Amino acid sequence: MTTQFHPPDATPLKGKVVVLTGGALGVGSCIVRLLHTAGAHVFFGDILDEPGQALERELSNNDAKAKFIHCDVTSYADNLALFDAAYSACGHVDHAIANAGLGEQGNMFDSELTLESIKEEPKKSMSIVDVNVKGPLYFARVASAYLKQPDVNGKGNTAAADKSLTLVSSVAGFREDPGLYVYVASKHAILGLMRVLRGTLIQSKPHPIRTNAICPWMTKTRLVAGIEKVWAESGLPSNSPEDVARVIVGVLADGKVNGGTMYIEGGRSWNIEQGLLATRHEWLGAEREKELDRGTELMGGGEHWTANKSSQV
Ligand SMILES: NC(=O)c1ccc[n+]([C@@H]2O[C@H](COP(=O)([O-])OP(=O)(O)OC[C@H]3O[C@@H](n4cnc5c(N)ncnc54)[C@H](O)[C@@H]3O)[C@@H](O)[C@H]2O)c1
């Protein structure tokens, strides 16, 4: 069974409106450039104003918009303002990419911890949870409302258009990376978020929203500065940020894939979610698979959870 994903080029994205976070540097800035070249209108947020504004100035030379908006993903108001800027300017939002992320900060499970040093709350480490988990949750919630809006310029035309939400996780989202305690936990959370949204947002009306996750392995950005040299010497494969951007833009342009997890290694990508689902009977057992599916079906659209006040605090 081959699960390789061959990203199509960005041609179908001409004239589309895309919102993304973490667009000032690294993978995000490559996504902005690729989309802009394809003629998409890009509204990108970041906390780094100087490189964000410089990128906006650099791309101000053609008809497609490239607009930088200061956005700290941990702020709900900033997420709202980012989507509102795109919607106000263009009358519709077509694709949304939660890309901003933070690498490991501090050492949450320092082997030198004592009964004295354990008293200090690990605030620095926990900032990762804010950026990598709270940020995408806020972003996805706001996206779920903006993406399904009928096109303001469409004069009431409610025909379904292709819409998507893409969440950037990591190879650390489906297996461990030694020492990256909080980062690994945060990126696993993103795969969980994609899985719980993929069956729900696809039912949005009038526009179904596809939800996918991206799991790059080693990618040459400032995030991996600490290990870049030893990695290069090892001969192990790595991605350029442009490689990762090409796959993400390909997921948007593809127009069909929903619920996928694109693992990216050495510039190539595979939809590992397909393999995981297709082989469940092998790693779970046929009986467990059947019972689990029956349980999921019983939950319907999940309305029992929110309707039952006794489980709300
Ligand atoms: N580089 C890798 O090897 C690698 C591997 C797997 C996944 N990823 C993921 O790819 C994504 C992009 O990372 P990158 O490698 O380009 O790193 P990067 O550091 O070059 O870019 C991350 C961007 O996110 C922005 N950002 C950080 N905190 C923010 C906040 N609170 N609000 C808004 N923006 C914020 C940064 O300013 C920066 O522009 C991240 O989610 C990262 O976890 C990277």
313 located within any domain: no
Q: What's the number of domains the chain is made of?
A: 1
| Ordered DSSP codes for 269-301 | EEEHHHHHHHTHHHHH-HHHHHHHHHHHHHTTT
Q: Is the CB of 48 under 6 A from ligand 1?
A: yes
Would you say residue 312 lies in a domain? no
CATH number of the domain bearing residue 52: 3.40.50.720
| Tokens 């258009």, located at residue | 161
pLDDT digits (tens, 9 = 90+) for 104-123: 999 999 999 999 999 999 99
Span from the CA of 280 to the centroid of ligand 1 (angstroms): 32
238 lines ligand 1 (CB under 6 A): no
Share of the chain above pLDDT 70, in %: 98
Overall pTM surpassing 0.85 (yes/no): yes
Residue 302's pLDDT band, with cuts at 50, 70 and 90, is: confident
Give domain status of residue 156, yes or no: yes
- What contacts 158, CB < 8 A, 6 or more positions away? 150, 206
Predicted local confidence at residue 152, as pLDDT? 87
Neighbours of 168 (CB within 10 A): 26
102 lines ligand 1 (CB under 6 A): yes
Range of the domain at 89: 4-307
Choose the weakest-confidence range: 1-5, 41-45, 144-148, 284-288. Answer: 1-5
Looking at 190-194, 196-200, 225-229, which range is the least confident one?
Answer: 225-229
Q: What is the pLDDT of residue 157?
A: 55
- Closest ligand 1 atom, CA of 28? 16
**Which atom number of ligand 1 is nearest to the Cα of residue 171?**
6
Measured CA to CA, the distance from residue 14 to residue 65 in angstroms comes to 11
CA distance 228 to 221: 9
The pLDDT of 234-238, averaged and rounded, is 96
From ligand 1's centre to the CA of 13, what distance in Å? Answer: 23
Query: How high is the pLDDT of residue 156?
Result: 54
Whether residue 159 is predicted with pLDDT greater than 80 in this model: the reply is no
Q: What is the pLDDT of residue 303?
A: 80
Give the pLDDT of residue 176: 95
Residue 310 CB contacts under 8 Å (≥ 6 apart), including other chains: none
Distance (angstroms) between ligand 1 centre and the Cα of 132 equals 9
Q: For residue 226, what pLDDT band results from cuts at 50, 70 and 90?
A: confident
Query: Distance, CA 185 to ligand 1 centroid (Å)?
Result: 16
Answer yes or no: is 130 within a domain: yes
Average pLDDT over residues 79-104: 97
Q: How far apart are CA 144 and CA 209, in angstroms?
A: 8
